[in-house]
């Protein structure tokens, strides 16, 4: 069974509909990435459920597992087009 060794501090909902959950926004090697159903990640961290209304093209970050999520646009330059 997969467990969280670190809290999820970064969530991105890419424009192609793919969700990404990591312990930080950058610095992960491809060998560190695990693919799993969204339902499984919410069983490990129920606070992630509040982000499911986040539209594609938006990400959210927090400083620690007890902090509030702070959303932002993944591609802010595309909003100007």
pLDDT (tens digit, 9 = 90+) per residue, 14-63?
A: 898 888 888 877 777 777 767 677 888 888 888 899 998 999 999 999 99
> Which has the higher per-residue pLDDT, 25 or 8?
8
Radius of gyration of the chain (CA): 13
Lowest mean pLDDT among 3-12, 26-35, 64-73: 26-35
Could you tell me whether strands 19-22 and 70-73 are parallel, antiparallel, or unpaired per DSSP bridges? unpaired
- Give the model's pLDDT for residue 44: 85
What is the helix (H) or strand (E) element at residue 63, kind and residue range? none
Q: What is the pTM of this model?
A: 0.81
Give the Cα separation of 72 and 29 in Å (integer): 24
């Amino acid at each position: 069974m997969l467990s969280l060794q670190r809290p999820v501090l970064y969530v991105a909902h890419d424009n192609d509909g793919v969700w990404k959950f990591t312990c930080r926004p950058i610095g992960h090697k491809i060998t560190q990435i695990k693919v799993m159903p969204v339902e499984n990640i919410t069983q490990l961290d129920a606070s992630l459920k509040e982000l499911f209304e986040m539209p594609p093209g938006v990400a959210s970050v927090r400083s620690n597992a007890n902090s509030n999520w702070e959303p932002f646009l993944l591609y802010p330059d595309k909003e100007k087009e």
